[in-house]
Amino acid sequence: MFKSLQLPAIACALVSAAAQSDEYTKIDNHPCLRDYNGITKSMFDLSDANPTLATVTDIGDTYLKLHPGSAITEISDIPEDGFDIWGFNVTNSDSS
Ligand SMILES: *[C@@H]1O[C@H](CO)[C@@H](O)[C@H](O)[C@H]1NC(C)=O
């Protein structure tokens, strides 16, 4: 029987090689989980490669982007000046 702490590593090993590619940045110590920049880049890459199936839209700003400098940065690695919030629309625009 596997200990629960081993499950993420096992699950990661089952993910396809493409999904684990080094092309996208990951969260430290979580080799299968893309960070904000990795997720954002993968969404734009998917929509660029499949423009009739996926689009990316800026749907807003985080609180810190609207209120820069208001973060307590000593306790987090969240970018101090915030970031955009992206919507990822997956649909076939050629369908009727
Ligand atoms: C998603 O894309 C479809 C097809 O282009 C479009 O009709 C729809 O309005 C989009 N939805 C959103 C929330 O952007």
Find the 58 Cα to ligand 1 centroid distance in Å.
13
pTM of the model: 0.72
- Contact between 39 and 76 under an 8 Å Cβ cutoff? The reply is no
By the 8 A CB rule, do 29 and 8 touch? no
Atom of ligand 1 nearest to the CA of 57: 14
Extract the tokens encoding 59: 């749907």
Q: Please give the number of the atom of ligand 1 that sits closest to the Cα of 92.
A: 4
How far apart (Å, rounded) are the C-alpha atoms in residues 13 and 3?
16
pLDDT of 80 reads: 78
Written as tens digits, the pLDDT of the chain (96 aa) is 444 455 555 555 555 555 556 789 998 899 889 988 999 999 999 999 999 999 999 999 999 899 988 877 666 667 778 899 999 999 999 987
- Domain positions in the chain: 24-90
pLDDT of residue 75: 65
Ranges of beta strands (E only) in 6-93 are 26-27, 30-34, 54-61, 84-90
Mutational pocket test of ligand 1: of 47, 93, 95, 96, the residue with most ligand atoms within 8 Å of the beta carbon = 93
Give the Å distance between the CA of 65 and the centre of ligand 1.
26
Give the other-Cβ count within 10 Å of 43's Cβ.
19
